[in-house]
Structure 1
Amino acid sequence: MLPLFFLLLPSFGFAGHDYGQALSKSIMFFEAQRSGVLPHNQRVSWRSHSGLQDGKASGVGDGNTDHKCWQRPEDMTTDRHAYKVDPSNPGSDLAGETAAAMAAASIVFRRSNPAYSHELLRHAYELFDFADKYRGKYDSSITVAQKYYRSISGYNDELLWAAAWLYQASNNQYYLDYLGRNGDSMGGTGWQMTEFSWDVKYPGVQTLVAKFLMQGKAGAHAPVFEKYLQKSEYFMCSCLGKGSHNVQKTPGGLIYRQRWNNLQFVTSASFLATVYSDYLVSSGRNLRCDSGNVPSSELLSFAKSQANPSFVSCFGGYNTWFSSKRSNTNLLTGAIVGGPDAYDDFADERKNYEQTEPATYNNAPLLGVLARLSGGHGGYNQLLPVVPAPRPVVVPAPRPIVTKPAPRPVITKPHSSPKPRITPTPASKSGPISVEQKVTNSWVSKGRTYYRYSTIVTNKSTKNLKSLNLSISKLYGPIWGLTKSGDSYTFPAWVSSLSAGKSIEFVYIHSTTPADVSVANYVLA
């Protein structure tokens, strides 16, 4: 697909932005992600039915093959295996996150589709019970996920996250007590975070529990809930640059956490800041930071500064489209790309996937921010109950799942491909240009072990690096992030020079020890 991406850039003037239009485009992006039989009112006309056989095959799939597939969803021929968690192969983080999503969705559909809302809440109860009873990380059971979506934070944050949303959806005291009893032991009151992401839910938990405290619902758990609130405000203050440990920002003021797909952290932080700003307004409180009390309006201003809509174009496809100069065939409106680097530089290049790759978890938090900003200041009290408590739902205990888990494949590394020993190249030991390599991923395909190497080239001088030629030998696979020039490699097309102290990264994949990378020549000016 060849999308028109929606890019977030920092802004210091908020007037004139059409947040309603931006919200509409972001919703359009999600319509383009639909799979299965599409409804008759599908607005993205170049999409059609897809994934109709998904879930019918079980076993071990190949995530690497899936990532290499650049087909239209309607034409996919790669394996689409389904995976499961069960009592013998638990996945508390996966089940807990799904329970939280279903509980939240049950609130949305309570008036428009009560039957569906009831079904969502019933399944949320069941999933939470399963996740809490059979504890374990999902990527320990579904090991193929470790290559791309490893559960670094574990499952305690998802269990607390699910309990918080179940209380929000049901007003069931059991889930409020769960948050109070387990806040200390499961990290909800202990972790001081500066990241809210698909893996790390603690700031979201802390913000939602802070709301319960402001609503006066904490009861005997008030001392514990106050600690949740303190950790939530730690996150907010770090985003504003007024805490004891602040988030990194680019020179233009954009939150910066990592090279690859950085905007996922921007949109999620902006969402929490928007929500907490309204909580503070509704409760008549100020944000308490190390630098002193901060008015709630600063949080909303921060969210606006991260959500300035502008548009850039980007292309997809690989064999046919990756290097093609042809015009876009299909248009995908509203996608959030990876975003600028640590220096606010952004290159709209197909090969620059770390900055131009979109993801659904980039867009999801932005929907909340844009909905709030497009709605203006209506004086709505965010601390009022969203819905009245539903009648109790009696859920029978789930029957044990008696299945014999499929045997896990035994993966052995071939003798010809030992785990590489990474040693710095000579250029990294001295001189104004350093080169450092490390393995960032590995996998086995057809009996051979492949490695993904990340190589960082840094200008350690006090001058501008105007020209650079790298000599790379013993390279037996594809390379991204450099331009080949004769027998050497130079800056990628989107980099013309490298300022003092700055770095560029390139990656390559092959099935042996690291390639020999050295600096052939360079020009400083």
Structure 2
Amino acid sequence: MAPKSFSFPGIFPALLASSLALLLLSTPIIAVHDYHDALRKSILFFEGQRSGKLPPDQRVKWRRDSALRDGSTAGVDLTGGYYDAGDNIKFGFPMAFTTTLLAWSIIDFGRNMGPELKNAVKAVKWSTDYLLKATAKPGVVYVQVGDAYSDHSCWERPEDMDTLRTVYKIDNAHPGSDVAGETAAALAAASIVFRSRDPAYSRLLLNRAVRVFNFADMHRGAYSSSLHAAVCPFYCDVNGYQDELLWAAAWLHKASRKRAYREYIIKNEVVLRAGDTINEFGWDNKHAGINVLISKEVLMGRADYFESFKQNADGFICSILPGISHPQVQYSPESMWFSGGLIFKAGGSNMQHVTSLSFLLLAYSNYLSHANKAVPCGERSASPALLKQLAKRQVNYILGDNPLGMSYMVGYGSRFPQRIHHRGSSLPSVAAHPARIGCKAGSRYYLSPNPNPNLLLGAVVGGPNVSDAFPDSRPYFQESEPTTYINAPLVGLLAFFSAHP
């Protein structure tokens, strides 16, 4: 986008010039965004990530059936579910978190989704159908299908997959309270989504959530310890399993309204460290999410016994406000002509932090609005409007209001990533190239400078670095790889802003 030119007759008055400079510095050039289009594409993305037998109404036509024998080596049916990112592994931990956030998006913002609501609900069910299979056997949760090292040594379409489809599970002797807790949270949250749409399915989800939570709580331990060679360093839980137990209990309380879960939360608040790392939220760390979710009840005037969670949620808000943010939270710089200001946290795939934290900002803003409250941050006060503005700024950055003037969502806008780190997108489709493309034969496509032949519409990549630089290149996977857990909270954000542009 070229800078606008300004001309004034005569001599520039000093005051006017300085005021104009301040205005330009403080007011980035903002495009008008089609949030409806972005919402539609962000949900469509999940169809491109589907594993298993594809349904007749599949809209991403370059995909075909894949991994139809998943689970067979263990004598179970583990077909279906989602590939979490640009590879062909089904990791249960991020898949469950994706499901929880998709469900939360529908619970809080489904009324804003219009005709896309039915597709969002389908996206949740595609995952919960799989999670029900993965938890069908009492005392066992199947948490991964595929050997990551074998998979990552190949560049091949999921339809051609010939890498190891090893099945990994947790059980009484090999606990995984983190992945089991997140799975219970996903099933409980989804039960709310289906409560009026399909009561029988909703009851099945909730009953299974209860059973999986009891297993997670009774047999405590981190799945990274039980399955270290399989899950680390890919989705190794460095944060511990305690937060997932509280997170699951919070969703079970919301879904069932049973006193037992309220008492569990109160009893275990300190033991399970609800007040730790309150500015973190993602597939590995649920602390900020726990506090925001539980705070809604306090703000609705129904649960003074949860007041400490609201204090934690307020602390989370203050920790990420620009200008007074926590050292772990940075913002990219702003320039005169373009809007920077992207949330940035150390580690890979930064957009996962942007969308998850922005979702919490928006959700908490709505809860505060209903209660006519604001968040005190020392001498400053964060109003609901300010939190919405900050969340919207992050969404707009993703959609193109950034120094590079590009959208980080594939297929949205006129300029977007062309070489995303994604096997199915970067290799010729089965329709275009029916013959199998072998493990190493795909390497030439991986290394090619050409754009991907298949658009994975709606995919949001890991995004730029803290200096707003972005290499549009497959080997730079931290920047160019999309994930389901980037998109899941973005669905809720886009739904809200499509109704409140």
State TM-score, norm by structure 2. Answer: 0.69
Distance 1:231 1:22, change over 3 A: same
Matched AA of 1:295: S
Residue among 98, 101, 110 paired with 2:183 = 98
2:318 aligns with 237
Stretch deviating more after TM superposition (348-357 or 78-87): 348-357
C-alpha displacement of 1:326: 4.2
2:222 aligns with 137
2:330 aligns with 248
Distance 1:330 1:60, change over 3 A: closer
State TM-score, norm by structure 1. Answer: 0.66
Matches within 5 A, 1:265-344: 265-308=353-396, 309-310=399-400, 311=407, 312-315=416-419, 316-317=426-427, 318-326=442-450, 328-344=452-468
Q: Contact 2:147–2:165 at 8 Å: present in 1 too?
A: no
Residue among 52, 61, 75 paired with 1:36 = 52
Residue among 12, 17, 40 paired with 2:33 = 17
C-alpha displacement of 1:148: 1.1
Stretch deviating more after TM superposition (231-240 or 97-106): 231-240
Q: Residues 103-136 of structure 1, C-alpha deviation per residue, up to 9 Å, x if partnerless? A: 1101111111111111100100101111111101
Distance 1:368 1:40, change over 3 A: same
Distance 1:325 1:60, change over 3 A: closer
Matches within 5 A, 1:120-519: 120-143=205-228, 144-188=230-274, 190-218=275-303, 222=305, 225-241=306-322, 243=324, 245-246=326-327, 247-251=329-333, 252-258=340-346, 260-308=348-396, 309-310=399-400, 311=407, 312-315=416-419, 316-317=426-427, 318-326=442-450, 328-376=452-500
Matched AA of 2:418: C
Distance 1:72 1:288, change over 3 A: same
1:424 aligns with none
Partner of 1:54: helix, strand, or coil?
coil
Matched AA of 1:265: H
Distance 1:44 1:60, change over 3 A: closer
Q: Contact 1:274–1:299 at 8 Å: present in 2 too?
A: yes
C-alpha displacement of 1:291: 3.2
Cα distance in structure 2, aligned partners of 1:26 and 1:140: 34
Q: Residues 184-203 of structure 1, C-alpha deviation per residue, up to 9 Å, x if partnerless? A: 11111x31422211100010
Q: Residues 157-195 of structure 1, C-alpha deviation per residue, up to 9 Å, x if partnerless? A: 00000011111111111111111111111111x314222
Cα distance in structure 1, aligned partners of 2:172 and 2:29: 53
Partner of 1:57: helix, strand, or coil?
helix
Q: Contact 1:314–1:356 at 8 Å: present in 2 too?
A: no
Q: Which has the higher contact order (CA 8 A, sep 6+)?
A: 2
Cα distance in structure 1, aligned partners of 2:56 and 2:29: 41
Matched length? 362
Q: Give 1 or 2 for the bigger CA radius of gyration.
A: 1
C-alpha displacement of 1:353: 2.1
1:107 aligns with 192
Distance 1:228 1:152, change over 3 A: same
Partner of 1:336: helix, strand, or coil?
coil
C-alpha displacement of 1:137: 0.5
2:139 aligns with none
Distance 1:289 1:25, change over 3 A: same
Cα distance in structure 2, aligned partners of 1:305 and 1:327: 29
- Considering fraction of residues, name the structure with more strand: 1
2:69 is the counterpart of 1:53: yes
Matched AA of 2:171: D
Cα distance in structure 1, aligned partners of 2:446 and 2:145: 29
Q: Which runs of 5+ in 2 are unaligned?
A: 1-26, 75-143, 334-339, 401-406, 408-415, 420-425, 428-441
- Considering fraction of residues, name the structure with more helix: 2
C-alpha displacement of 1:207: 0.5
Cα distance in structure 1, aligned partners of 2:469 and 2:264: 45
Distance 1:93 1:276, change over 3 A: same
C-alpha displacement of 1:297: 0.5
Distance 1:369 1:61, change over 3 A: closer
Give the fraction of aligned pairs with identical amino acids, expressed as a percent.
47
Q: Contact 2:224–2:237 at 8 Å: present in 1 too?
A: yes
Q: Contact 2:145–2:166 at 8 Å: present in 1 too?
A: yes
CA-atom RMSD, angstroms? 2.0
Partner of 1:84: helix, strand, or coil?
strand
Q: Residues 197-222 of structure 1, C-alpha deviation per residue, up to 9 Å, x if partnerless? A: 11000100011111121223325xx2
Q: Which runs of 5+ in 1 are unaligned?
A: 1-10, 378-525
Q: Residues 382-403 of structure 1, C-alpha deviation per residue, up to 9 Å, x if partnerless? A: xxxxxxxxxxxxxxxxxxxxxx
Q: Residues 341-372 of structure 1, C-alpha deviation per residue, up to 9 Å, x if partnerless? A: 11111121233222111111111111111112
C-alpha displacement of 1:154: 0.8
Cα distance in structure 1, aligned partners of 2:243 and 2:34: 35
Partner of 2:459: helix, strand, or coil?
strand
Partner of 1:184: helix, strand, or coil?
coil
Q: Contact 2:418–2:451 at 8 Å: present in 1 too?
A: no
Partner of 2:169: helix, strand, or coil?
coil
1:390 aligns with none
Partner of 1:333: helix, strand, or coil?
coil
Cα distance in structure 2, aligned partners of 1:240 and 1:302: 8
Q: Residues 251-285 of structure 1, C-alpha deviation per residue, up to 9 Å, x if partnerless? A: 02111112531111011111000100000000110
Q: Contact 1:210–1:232 at 8 Å: present in 2 too?
A: yes
